[in-house]
């Protein structure tokens, strides 16, 4: 359980890592990929397979297919913010009635912000009222019992076409 939000080039997250209703550690849930993109994931704690697929993605054309994502077979929702500043929701899940995994990948819509995790609705409401991603996650931490401070943030480094992105 978690809260991750993205708005105006900033991704923010809470710090609560839990197992069976108990907080086991406190650390960030967002990271900068090799491509310079930001990844924030909620769900299965082991998202290495997703990171491996997304690590070098700089443009939408380089995105893995929904089939490739579903083959990971992990319950994950996440946000991928590319170096261009474009952001995408990445959702992989197993439907209750189905035996197969499915995945969805879609761009951040008309509002220009997105959130995922158990505190998603609180964060979306906060951003709808004009709050930043950081403020939205702080608000979610007040109301979502599965999200806890401290809140971390990373800023996307938008780059001109052809420019290399460093760490």
pLDDT tens-digit map of 58-91: 999 999 998 899 888 888 899 999 999 999 999 9
Chain mean position to CA 120: 11
Rounded distance between C-alpha atoms, residue 95 and residue 92, angstroms:
10
Q: What is the pLDDT of residue 92?
A: 87
Q: What would the two tokens of residue 141 be? A: 């931490």
Full DSSP string of 24-84: EEE---EEE-TTS-EEEEEESS--HHHHHHHTT--SGGGSPPHHHHHTT---EEEEEE-TT
Contact 64/55 with Cβ under 8 angstroms? no
Q: CB-based burial of residue 63 (10 Å sphere; 0-12 exposed, 13-18 middle, 19+ buried)?
A: middle
Q: What percent of the chain has pLDDT over 70?
A: 92
Taking 50 as the threshold, does the pLDDT of residue 167 lie above it? no
Whether pLDDT at 162 is above 60:
no
In whole angstroms, give the CA distance from residue 6 to residue 88.
10
Span 103-122, mean pLDDT?
90
The answer regarding whether domain 3-155 maps to CATH 3.60.20.10 reads: yes
User: What confidence score (pLDDT) does residue 98 get?
Assistant: 66
């Amino acid at each position: 359980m978690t809260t991750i939000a993205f708005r105006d080039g900033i991704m923010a997250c809470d710090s609560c890592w839990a197992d069976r209703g108990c907080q086991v550690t406190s650390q960030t849930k967002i990271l900068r990929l090799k491509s310079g993109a930001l990844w924030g994931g909620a769900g299965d704690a082991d998202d290495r397979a997703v990171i491996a697929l997304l690590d070098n993605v700089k443009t939408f054309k380089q995105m893995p297919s929904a089939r490739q994502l579903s083959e990971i077979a992990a319950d994950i929702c996440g946000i991928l913010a590319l170096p261009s500043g474009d952001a995408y929701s990445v959702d992989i899940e197993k439907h209750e009635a189905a035996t197969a995994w499915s995945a969805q990948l879609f761009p951040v819509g008309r509002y220009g912000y997105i959130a995922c995790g158990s505190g998603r609705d609180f964060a979306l409401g906060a951003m709808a009222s004009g709050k930043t991603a950081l403020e939205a996650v702080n608000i979610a931490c007040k109301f979502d019992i599965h999200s806890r401070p401290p809140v971390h943030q990373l800023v996307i480094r938008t780059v001109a076409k052809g420019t290399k992105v460093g760490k």
